[in-house]
Structure 1
Amino acid sequence: MLTPNDFRHRRKQLMRQMKKNSVALVASAPASIRNRDVEYPYRQHSDFHYLTGFHEPEAVAVLAPGCKEGEFILFCRPFDPEKAIWTGRHAGLEGARAEHGADQAFPIEALDEQLPRLLENRERVYFPIGQDAELDHALLSAVNTVRGRARNGVEAPHEFIALEHLLHELRLIKSPEEIRIMRRAAEVSVLGHRRAMRACRPGRHEYEIEAELAHEFALHGMRSLAYPSIVAGGANACVLHYTQNDAVLGDGDLLLIDAGAECANYAADITRTFPVNGRFSKPQRLIYELVLEAQLAAIDAVRPGRRWNEPHEAAVKVLTRGLVRLGLLEGKTSRLIKDEAYKKFYMHRTGHWLGMDVHDVGAYRVGGKWRAFEPGMVLTVEPGLYIAADCQEVDPCWRGIGVRIEDDVLVTRDGCEVLTAALPKTVADIEALMAEP
């Protein structure tokens, strides 16, 4: 797992990329009320966690390169023995320094008093502009305080820069330790999906299969989901972000599961589609194998130097050609692609960055061009086909079939590695797994 040295290295990386005479600010995620006096389980803001590893609300980190008293200043809640009785251990100012590497630590209540000092004679401030109203207010108030000292020869920052521009580029390329964590998230997520396949049968509810996933994740210490699980039987699979998960699974239907565990704040993201009764019908198999062919073509396009759009274009070409072959589209493949006729059945892109957020940060275009893949990037590859139950333009045998196949893919020096490859996805392998006692 990540150590204080890992977080220190990240802060150094960021500060090296900041312009001279700058300071950076980032705030923790707030605690969120579920109802009345009950809070949701706390999950730290990914940017704040990336730089600090600090897992408490009511905190602000300041990076001040060249500051004589120390470059990493953390404002947080002081230790409160009474609070510790009710909610457990928390870092306090001493823990902020000893355990999280802060050079200076102040009570969060001292932010308004201390921040002007940290901004004096700094030319620019990096911070997440407009993301946190309280941080925006604290910063602008501090800047105005510094401006009020102009007659004393003190200068205030005059340039404000979005922190994400630098920070998210750092987050895009995963370190070896981050990749180890993501491998573990993928490994446990695969176990959850395998358990779900074996537990599936007609007459069970979607939420029962959802429970199997959560059970397996928690057995391995991953109590947090990377995102709400999609467990969509039959035509529910044609709703891309279906999370109601309360329908009865029908004999002869497919079940689409899109679910992943979170390990140490890093996400896995897997989708598999399989028959509720363990055997694909002929129409289901034809659609499924077409999506699998598209996914394999897309994965083959993931390698250093290839561009972000290429896996999607490879998948679209295979899907469109196959839809013509199956009679769901009519016309020349190239024209259908140009006219985006495939979007009736395939309306989303083929992947996204993956990391601390399931839809992780990082630009998809650089300098007006699709970004080139580099080693250390992690993305999903997830083509699909969704034929609505009320689609009157197609033969009834296709209606209500929704299929998506998604894997997590690491870009390596000489190609790519599918982190979730241990989960079956051929028709034969899925049917064999579901037939196991």
Structure 2
Amino acid sequence: MTSTDVKGPESAGDPVANEVVGGAAGAAPVLAQEVISEEDRGRGKGPKLEDEGIAVKDGKPSAATRGERHRSFDVAEFSRPTSKNEEWRFTPLRVLSPLFEDLATEDREGDPAVDYQVSVPEGAPEVGTLAPGQSPRGEALVPEDITSAVASARTDQALHLRAPRNAELAEPFRLTAHGRDAERRSNAHIVLQTEESSTATFVLDHTGSTRMAENVEMVVGDNSQMTVISLQNWEDDALHIATHHSKVGRDARLKHIVVSLGGRAVRVNAIGEFSAPGGELEKLGLYFADEKQFLEHRIFVDHAAPNCTSNSAYKGALQGSGARSVWVGDVLIRREAEGTSTYELNRNLVLTEGARADSVPNLEIETGEIEGAGHAAATGRFDDEQLFYLRARGIPELEARRLVVRGFFAELIQQIDVPEIRQALSDSIEDELQRSMN
């Protein structure tokens, strides 16, 4: 029922670090081609469930689950993170330290720290605002860390984009947040809502430079369908920590896509909760880290209702000295969540020496009455067999390498339903490859 596909530490940019991370991920470095049969598991051979990052509860005393993390709107209840905190141990805290300060947005007269441009599709109400405590603000997102708490407290009026009941909106909502200065702090709280039996797509594009602490709250009403595409297209000096928190209603569906290409350091924590049976949650992610760039993506799926389905797939490429990516996937299947089906996958392609990718999949299971649960993670270089195959057919090596990377990302890009974004991503990846392979 589980799948672990973690290549040996020799396949990543930092052998020592990846060996350590392999243990942390619960997969003592196992070559991808090694297969451990269920019969061998029964004899005690190969990694046990705990070694694969899977915790199966049986009523015995255990540590607190991921779902029991402290939440509060009160900034004073949170301290600055340290490397001893599990959820921050991979993060460059010194680089991101400006976002741990309780500071207001540095707007100036006629010159906001971030310029917001919003386009609303036909059939949707105009952009609204929500004060703290004004529904639906706070229905899904309650901060779990100091940055999220500050973003909430320092945003007097959250932007509210809403698809009304029974509406099927053909065009997406579009919100562009353009930072004006890499030295200026900005805070944001955005609420996206699909009311009962509605369908809508929301595109959030982050450009320019700033130091942004951001909350994105997604309230997915019963029998509704929401798609959210968050693009991190920052300049090279931007800092960004975002918490995306969704609550999925009965028989509702959320497709959540995160694309991170720009920024000095970007961390996106995407949390999804099922509040009623029959929900579906799909989390997709794509990232490309360059020299001295840090990109971190964390996902948490809380199966708190029966008969729900979640699937997560993130893919990243890295190039250049000091390029760093982190992916941490947590799935909690609570005792009441019978009939759950879940799977999470992360793949990383290291294009040059000096880059490092950390990948940590985790499962917590409190009931055995589930449909299925599994995870897979791998970090590797170019597949020599693929390159040989292409070169044997007369394709030059540089072009063959580009084709491999394009194919690596193609599956995820094709799942983005907005054509111009698909094309823009393909162009951006081509630009990255031109820089690294010429």
Shorter-normalised TM-score: what interval? Answer: under 0.3
TM-score (norm 2): 0.23
Give the number of the structure whose alpha-carbon radius of gyration is greater.
1
TM-score (norm 1): 0.23
Q: Which has the higher strand share?
A: 2
Q: Which has the higher helix share?
A: 1
